[in-house]
Amino acid sequence: MKSKLLTALILGCVFTGLGNSTANAQEGKFALGGYLDWTFTAYEAGVKPSSFNAFHYNPIFLYQVEDNILASAELEFENGGDEIVVEYMQLDYIWNDYVTFTLGKFLVPFGAYNRRLHPTWIARVPGKPLSNIDVVPTGWAEVGLMASGAVGLGENGARVNYSFYVSNGLEGAAGDGIRELRKEGDPREMNNSSKAVGGRLGIVPTAGVEFGVSGYTGKYDAVATPVLNLNMVGVDGEYHYQDLFELRGELNQADQEITPGQYVIKRGYYAQAALKLSITDNDLLMPFELAVRVSGQNFTGVADDIHEVTPTINYYFGSTTVLRLGYSFNGASQGATAYKKVDNQFVAMFAKGL
């Protein structure tokens, strides 16, 4: 905890110092952003006490080192500051109009949710979809090298975008949850010298529509010579009508080896729709948005098969300031009754993009 706090303070001072030292000579080189949120959660059956929580205060530091070099970092203060981590810390080198190289710790480009949507003021529904908890972790970042970019395909905004990377392998005991394999803050190279490769390829046939396919393969064993494989594939898609309506979803699968030749199959999905009532052109309804998310996970066997439906009402005080009121109807297969998401729950969330 102390080392993480020290890292956070040093990182903040370094980026702030860089910005201050060039503020007069190079105005606009430094920027500070981020997001924060506050939540109140109540459980229908009382399996947990109702509680307030300041889940996130995440400042983001951006510094333009050169015209084509950008340094960025995000700190994450979770649960009122009880947990402090560096979400990502990277250096981007824009080689040309089509290729950018990234060095450092970066958010893994698997699907759309992990990199683009997980900040709470952007996500339309409070809480994470089940597909992005134990199948594809949210806030999943790795240290390595990434190449990314986009190529236009003509008119109407059509293009292809891509992100491909090589990173350190995950690490943990056989059969551990994928979320736990991240081992944030630990020197993973101490045990796992194997490297993982992966990426995402996205196709935008016209403005407002995108389809993507993602993949990942690597070894995750916690011994000096890992032998257990972890292979992941996913597809995602989204449709937007101006800023008024969106429809999106993801389907992911992880094949996790638990003993040589024996795999556990982990599948997750979510679908989400959101409609801003400003489409009615009624002043009273203008700040409101209706959203709903359906998500679930299905593992080999039945013990972890769970699902949820979460209708949500959002009220926007501004373009980056929102109050979300959501109610999750949670269910599970027989044998999963102890799982934390089984009980229905009400969530009130105030979120602000900085």
Phi, psi of 60 (to 5 degrees): -120, 125
What is the band of 23 on the pLDDT scale with cuts at 50, 70, 90? very low
Tell which residue, 126, 128, 139, 137, has the closest CA to residue 39: 126
What is the band of 6 on the pLDDT scale with cuts at 50, 70, 90? very low
Q: How many domains does the chain have?
A: 1
Tell which residue, 166, 169, 173, 175, has the closest CA to residue 187: 169
What are the tokens at 142? Answer: 């790795």
The pTM score is 0.87
Q: Give pLDDT, residue 154.
A: 80
Phi, psi of 146 (to 5 degrees): -135, 145
What is the band of 246 on the pLDDT scale with cuts at 50, 70, 90? very high
Is a pLDDT exceeding 50 seen at residue 354? yes
Q: CA torsion sign, 97 to 101 to 105 to 107?
A: positive
Q: Tokens 């951006």 identify what position? A: 62
What is the band of 232 on the pLDDT scale with cuts at 50, 70, 90? very high
Q: Are 314 and 124 in contact (CB under 8 A)?
A: yes
Average pLDDT of the segment spanning 286-304: 88
Domain that holds residue 65: 2-353
Name the least confident of 46-60, 82-96, 135-149, 333-347: 333-347
Average pLDDT of the segment spanning 112-141: 92
- Which residue type sits at 187? P
User: Residue 140 belongs to a domain with what CATH number?
Assistant: 2.40.160.10
